[in-house]
Copies of this chain bind each other. A is one copy, B any other.
Amino acid sequence: MADDLASRLLEASELHGDFVLSSGKRSPVYFDKFRFLTDPSLLKETAHAVAGLLPAGITHLAAPEGAATLLVAALALETHLPIAVVRKERKEYGTRSQVEGHAPAGARIALIEDVSTTGHQVLRAARILEAEGAEVSTIVLAIDRGGADHLREAGYWVKSVARVEADGAATR
Number of this chain's copies in the assembly equals: 2
Task: Collect the chain B residues with CB atoms within 8 Å of residue A124's CB.
Answer: none
The residue on B at minimum CB distance from A60 is B38
**Complex Cα distance A20/B91, Å?**
11
Within A13-37, the residues touching B (CB, 8 Å) are 15, 19-22, 30, 32, 34-35, 37
- The answer to whether the Cβ of A84 comes within 8 Å of any Cβ in the partner chain is yes
Cβ A85 vs Cβ B38 within 8 A: yes
**Complex Cα distance A71/B102, Å?**
16
- The answer to whether the Cβ of A55 comes within 8 Å of any Cβ in the partner chain is no
Which of A73, A80, A81, A102: most chain B Cβ within 10 A? A73
Cβ B34 vs Cβ A85 within 8 A: yes
Cβ B38 vs Cβ A95 within 8 A: no
Cβ B22 vs Cβ A94 within 8 A: yes
Cβ A34 vs Cβ B93 within 8 A: no
